[in-house]
Structure 1
Amino acid sequence: MSHPPPRSPKSYLSKALTFASRPLDMANPCLQGRKRRCGRPTTEVTEDLDLYLLEIAAGLFVQHGYAGTSIDQIARKACASKQTLYRRYPSKEALFIAVVTNLTGSVLRAMEETPLTNPLEELRHISRLMLDLTLRPDALGTYRILIADGHRHPSLQQQAVAAIGQPFHNNFVRLLKAAEQKGQINPGFANDTTARLLTGMITGWPMEDSLFGLDPLKTEQEKEAFFNEAWSFFLSAVGGKQPAPAAHAQEDAQV
């Protein structure tokens, strides 16, 4: 009897809300036959399974909240055993942190791989990515969970800050210091306060309105206009130089 080809899940939360909205169907084959495989799984299959489990967990966390989601529920939805989950994550808290870390992973990797040849331009690029990430429905769902359940689980907030907030902040400071060394901003601005002011200015108001259920930046044009104005304000404050728009347009056209 042949089995369907293995599932190739996309980035962990790209379909999280779709997964979360589907009813459990225990009559259907689970994980495209993976549970029936024998022998040691390949690295590719293991990575696909890891992403699939995070995808399922993310959808349920967003739908039911942290307190309303259990390891048993995630295992049943994924058609996997609880032991499969516990081998990867010793607790629900560890699983939730893995979900959130995976959400921000691509942006953090982009920050860490920045070549620093033009740190101010890289800072602009990363800031724009951060705005996009902040307004994603899955990210907003995660923020709501931390707000609603964080006071009952203090270590959850602490781990989220350590896994996500601090790495973001550290990379912003790193880019500011590199920009200062290259003379792209005035001396004295490559510090924690400047990094926090920049991220707050870029994401603070859009995130706050979005968390209240509003839609502050309805179109990509509105989002881009808001970002450009915030970035220009930041450059004026730190003595930076605004890149010529024509240069960006030409680069985008070549890509």
Structure 2
Amino acid sequence: MARRGQELREHILETAKFAFLEDGFERTSMDAVAARAGTSKRSLYAHFPTKDVLFHAVVEHIRGSFGGRIRTPATYSDDPREAAVRYCGRFVQLLHWSAAARMIRLGIAEADRLPDLAAGLYDVLFGTTAADLAAYLTTALDLTPGRAEAISHELFGLVLHPTLPRLLFGLEPLVDELPDESTLASDVDLDRIRRLLREVLPAEA
């Protein structure tokens, strides 16, 4: 049975995501996306009238799927500090997923031509994640919003260096399959993140 409506739209978005990741924005044509999705160009354009609109929709699609995979800090532990550690660790673990790393590279490559799209992708992966941690710290540790935001951004900056640049430059291996949260402790140095957390948020704070 042919896909229709929302089912077709979601299928196109998944197909387009991998097309953009594999071929880049410029080399990905709407014709190629339609062919890969097994749908007509007419159906594709009915959902996404331009390639820019399609790419915007892919970014929003990634926002939802990434958020579902990282969840919220409170789901990781009843202890607020350990929850923050494991939340940051899960973020690092997901960055090793080839789909995430390649999407970051794509956003950087298109930043000059499509600054709004690049900014949206940054917000999906980094802005929202840091904001969610700040909101959690505000409530769980009774911090002021300003202090929680500063701690969140400082912690993520420390946690991501030097892992993120090494991943972007191909100095650390990527994994093709979505990392399983059950292997978090073996995939990521959580003790390092605990030490970093103590630096930005001492135990007596």
AA matched with 1:98: A
- The answer to whether the aligner puts 1:136 opposite 2:100 as a matched pair is no
AA matched with 1:203: L
- The answer to whether the aligner puts 1:56 opposite 2:15 as a matched pair is yes
- The answer to whether the aligner puts 1:212 opposite 2:175 as a matched pair is no
- The answer to whether the aligner puts 1:91 opposite 2:50 as a matched pair is yes
> What per-residue deviation string (whole Å, max 9, x for no partner) do you get for residues 210-234 of structure 1?
1111116999776322x32122221
Rate the CA distance shift 1:126–1:220 in 2: closer, same or farther, 3 A.
closer
Please give the residue correspondences for 1:191-210 in structure 2 after superposition, counting only pairs within 5 Å. Answer: 191-210=148-167
Runs (4+) of structure 1 exceeding 4 A deviation are 112-118, 186-189, 216-222
Tell me the residue number matched to 2:116.
155
- The RMSD of aligned alpha carbons is 3.3
Judge conservation of contact 1:100–1:160 (CA < 8 Å) in 2: yes
Query: Structure 1 stretch 206-215 or stretch 91-100: which is displaced more?
Result: 91-100
AA matched with 1:53: I
Structure 1: 5+ residue runs without aligned partners? 1-32, 36-40, 242-255
AA matched with 1:199: F
TM-score, normalised to structure 1, is: 0.63
2:131 to 167, 170, 176: 170
Tell me the residue number matched to 1:235.
198
Select the structure that is richer in helix. 2
Identity of aligned residues (%): 24
Count of residue correspondences: 195
1:68 to 24, 27, 44: 27
Rate the CA distance shift 1:123–1:220 in 2: closer, same or farther, 3 A.
closer
- The answer to whether the aligner puts 1:77 opposite 2:36 as a matched pair is yes
> What per-residue deviation string (whole Å, max 9, x for no partner) do you get for residues 77-121 of structure 1?
112123323333343233223333433434424228859964433
TM-score, normalised to structure 2, is: 0.76
Work out which structure has the larger RCO, using CA pairs closer than 8 Å and 6 or more positions apart in sequence. Answer: 2
